[in-house]
Amino acid sequence: MPTFDSIQVTGSATVQQDLQVGGNETIAQSLNVNGSETVNNHLAVGGTITSGQGVNTLFRLGVWSQPTLPGGTSSVQQVIFYPTGSSNQPGLLLQGTDGLNYVLFIDVSSGTANLAIQRV
């Protein structure tokens, strides 16, 4: 495998196999990795991360932009818990303090949007 002290790509980069970064990685334009990518320290993306499979993290996935409340009034909703369900339920995958995995998603099956949690 080739090893470089530094590499600069001014346009787009496509990697057909694996990409491993031992330090930090900053992406300002686009990067396509057809194998797998490992970043051991910090990944900074100035735009959007799109994943067809999922984004996995061992610690936290953080969003640092300040949320804004929409105009109008709010209504009290419930949180619905589904003890079992589909193992490929789309949503935000979180690990509980019990060590089990849970998916957080929005359930609109009743016609009203409710926050839902499903154990997977």
34-63 residue pLDDT tens: 778 887 878 777 777 777 777 777 777 777
How crowded is the C-beta side of 20, counted as CA atoms within 13 Å?
4
CA distances from 12 to 25, 27, 33, 42, 46 (A): 14, 10, 11, 20, 14
State both tokens at 78. 């419930």
State both tokens at 55. 């984004």
Q: Which residues contact 4 (CB under 8 A, 6 or more apart)?
A: none
> Quick one: average pLDDT of 26-39?
78
6 falls within a domain: no
Q: Which domain holds residue 38?
A: 11-59
Identify whether residues 84 and 115 lie together within a single domain: yes
86 falls within a domain: yes
pTM to 2 decimal places: 0.59
What's the rounded Cα separation, in Å, for the pair 41 and 47? 19
